[in-house]
């Protein structure tokens, strides 16, 4: 029996996903439908999952399971409330209530996967061979910042000025993420209006970075120079050299900087994985501002659920 394509009657039906094996990854961001259900069961074990054949006989009440999936679709595909209302057969106001309820829960789950403890033993054990070959086996973190472009508010000049990013020449929100040499994101900031500098964000977030062991260094870009004093354990920052009024760098400096920059590629890949959540891509619509941090938290979790970047 046909049900007119994607709709509530089929979207949680095992049989439909068997016929559409790519649907779960497209709609929810997980590799398969079985993996999607597995994550929901692990994250919310008390939430009742429907029977395999329950998709066609829906009650009028939207289950917690369905509300959870609606929210994930909103985050992963950046669907509008009208899109979701048409797919799930509900009004936009109802969809908005579901998202308001479940987005923080996805965010909390994301923090469980991306705000992690570290130790000197773990960092030494997982240090990639490429770092050892470069004599950088004492690196505990690779910090990096990213500006996510947003719509510009026209009703509040203070917010529009505070949100302007010189980096992308657009209104934006800024996040700093700290990852291990292996490419595991273990700490990240909330999203702040982009006029807040990276050094100010480090100053704000520094106390949480006591997990970076004393005596270990960070592989950073120039924007983080001079921030060692802001960390509880005064972790030194290994950054590319500065010209300091000279005309050019020496050959040795270029060679040394090239070594550092090549190893920092993992932090760029992490943010490339973060924007797999379409709600954080391109220019973020103001309708998504209320769930920005939840999307960012889960997106960092999603980055960690990939295979390690280096071994």
Percentage of the chain lying above the pLDDT 70 cut = 88
**Position with higher pLDDT, 96 vs 54:** 96
Average pLDDT of the chain is 89
pLDDT, residue 56, reads: 46
What is the spatial distance between Cα 284 and Cα 172, in angstroms, rounded to a whole number?
9
| Average pLDDT value for residue range 30-51 | 89
Segment 116-124 mean pLDDT: 95
CB atoms near residue 127 (< 10 Å): 20
Q: Does domain 117-304 have CATH number 3.30.420?
A: yes
> Model confidence over 205-252: pLDDT tens digits?
999 999 999 999 999 988 898 899 999 999 999 886 555 566 665 656
Distances (CA, A) of 264 to 141, 221, 258: 10, 9, 10
How far, in Å, are 62, 120, 257, 258, 309 from residue 130 at the CA level? 51, 18, 15, 13, 12
pLDDT of residue 311: 64
Q: How far apart are CA 264 and CA 268, in angstroms?
A: 7
Instruction: State the span(s) of the chain assigned CATH 3.30.420.
Output: 117-304
Q: How far is CA 63 from the centre of its chain?
A: 27
Q: Would the pLDDT of 186 be above 90?
A: yes
Report strand pairing: 170-179 vs 139-149.
antiparallel
Contact 106, 72 (CB under 8 A): yes
Phi, psi (deg, nearest 5) at residue 188: -155, 155
pLDDT of residue 148: 97
Express as a percent the part of the chain with pLDDT over 90.
71
Residue whose tokens read 């520094």: 206
First to last CA, the chain: 50
User: Beta strands 217-219 and 192-193: pairing type?
Assistant: unpaired
| pLDDT per position as a tens digit, 255-293 | 666 777 788 888 889 999 999 999 999 999 999 999 999
184 vs 305: CA distance, rounded Å: 9
pLDDT of 275 reads 94
């Amino acid at each position: 029996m046909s049900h007119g394509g994607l709709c509530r009657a089929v979207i949680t039906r095992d049989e439909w996903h068997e016929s559409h094996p790519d649907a779960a990854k497209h709609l929810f961001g997980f590799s398969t439908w079985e993996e999607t259900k597995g994550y929901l069961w692990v994250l919310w074990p008390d939430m009742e999952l429907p029977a395999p054949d329950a998709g066609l006989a829906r009650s009028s009440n939207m289950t917690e399971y369905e509300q959870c999936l609606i929210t994930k679709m909103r985050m992963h595909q950046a669907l509008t409330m009208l899109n979701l209302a048409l797919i799930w057969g509900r009004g936009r106001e109802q969809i908005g209530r579901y998202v308001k309820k479940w987005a923080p829960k996805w965010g909390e789950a994301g923090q469980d996967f991306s705000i992690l403890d570290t130790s000197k033993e773990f960092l030494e054990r997982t240090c990639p061979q490429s770092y050892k070959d470069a004599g950088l086996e004492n690196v505990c973190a690779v910090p990096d910042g990213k500006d996510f472009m947003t719509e510009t508010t026209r009703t509040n000049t203070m917010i529009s000025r505070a949100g302007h990013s010189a980096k992308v020449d657009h209104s934006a929100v800024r996040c700093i993420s700290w990852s291990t040499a292996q490419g595991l994101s273990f700490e990240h900031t909330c999203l702040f209006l982009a006029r807040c500098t990276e050094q100010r964000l480090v100053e704000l977030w520094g106390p949480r970075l006591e997990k970076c062991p004393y005596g270990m260094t960070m592989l950073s870009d120039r924007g983080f120079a001079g921030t060692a004093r802001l960390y509880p354990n005064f972790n030194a920052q290994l950054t590319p050299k500065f010209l300091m009024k000279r005309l050019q760098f020496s050959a040795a400096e270029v060679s040394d900087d090239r070594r550092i920059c090549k190893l920092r590629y993992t932090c760029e890949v992490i943010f490339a994985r973060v924007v797999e959540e379409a709600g954080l891509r391109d220019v973020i619509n103001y309708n998504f501002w209320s769930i920005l941090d939840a999307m960012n938290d889960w997106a960092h979790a999603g980055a960690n659920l990939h295979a390690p970047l280096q071994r």
